[in-house]
Amino acid sequence: MHPSVYRPLIETAIREDLGSRGDVTTAAVVPDGAVAKASLNARVEGRLAGLEVAAEVFRFVDSSLTVERLAVDGSDMAAGSALATIAGSASSILIAERTALNLLGRMCGIATLTRSVVREVAGTGVAVAETRKTTPGLRALEKYAVRMGGGANHRFGLDDAVMIKDNHIAVSGGVTKAVAAARAAVGHMTKIEVEVDTLEQLAELLADPVDVVLLDNMDPATLRRAVEMVDGTMIIEASGGITLANVRQVAESGVDVVSLGWLTHSAHNLDVGLDIVITTA
Cα 167 to Cα 179: distance, rounded to the nearest angstrom: 13
Q: Of 23, 73, 195, 256, which one is the catalytic site residue? A: 195
This model's pTM is above 0.85: yes
pLDDT of 1 reads 86
Q: Of 69, 132, 155, 165, which one is the catalytic site residue? A: 165
The residue-averaged pLDDT of 205-219 equals: 97
Rg over CA atoms, the chain? 23
User: Is the per-residue pLDDT at 166 higher than 80?
Assistant: yes
The domain segmentation of the chain, as residue ranges, is: 3-117+268-280, 122-265
Q: Is 248 marked active-site?
A: no
User: Is the per-residue pLDDT at 281 higher than 80?
Assistant: no
How much of the chain exceeds pLDDT 70, in percent?
Answer: 100
- Please state which architecture CATH assigns to domain 3-117+268-280: Alpha-Beta Complex (3.90)
pLDDT of 210 reads 98
Q: Of 98, 132, 155, 225, which one is the catalytic site residue? A: 98
Please name which of 43, 257, 25, 16 lies closest in space to residue 146, comparing C-alpha atoms. 257
Q: Is 155 marked active-site?
A: no
User: Is the per-residue pLDDT at 142 higher than 90?
Assistant: yes
User: Is the per-residue pLDDT at 262 higher than 90?
Assistant: yes
Query: pLDDT-based confidence at 114, cuts 50/70/90?
Result: very high
Q: Of 69, 133, 225, 248, which one is the catalytic site residue? A: 133
Q: Is 191 marked active-site?
A: no
Q: Is 165 marked active-site?
A: yes
User: Is the per-residue pLDDT at 21 higher than 80?
Assistant: yes
Please name which of 84, 82, 76, 79 lies closest in space to residue 148, comparing C-alpha atoms. 76
pLDDT of 113 reads 98
122-265: CATH class: alpha beta
pLDDT of 269 reads 97
Cα 108 to Cα 83: distance, rounded to the nearest angstrom: 12
Q: Is 23 marked active-site?
A: no
Give the 3-state DSSP-derived string for the chain, with helices as H, strands as E and coil as C: CCHHHHHHHHHHHHHHHHCCCCCHHHHHHCCCCCEEEEEEEECCCEECCCHHHHHHHHHHHCCCCEEEECCCCCCEECCCCEEEEEEEEHHHHHHHHHHHHHHHHHHHHHHHHHHHHHHHCCCCCCEEECCCCCCCCCHHHHHHHHHHCCCECCCCCCCCCEEECHHHHHHHCCHHHHHHHHHHHCCCCCCEEEEECCHHHHHHHCCCCCCEEEEECCCHHHHHHHHHHHCCCCEEEEECCCCCCCHHHHHCCCCCEEECCHHHHCCCCCCEEEEEEEEEC
pLDDT of 278 reads 82
Query: pLDDT-based confidence at 279, cuts 50/70/90?
Result: confident
Q: Of 142, 216, 237, 256, which one is the catalytic site residue? A: 216
Query: pLDDT-based confidence at 280, cuts 50/70/90?
Result: confident
Give per-residue pLDDT as tens, 75-106: 999 999 999 999 999 999 999 999 999 999 99
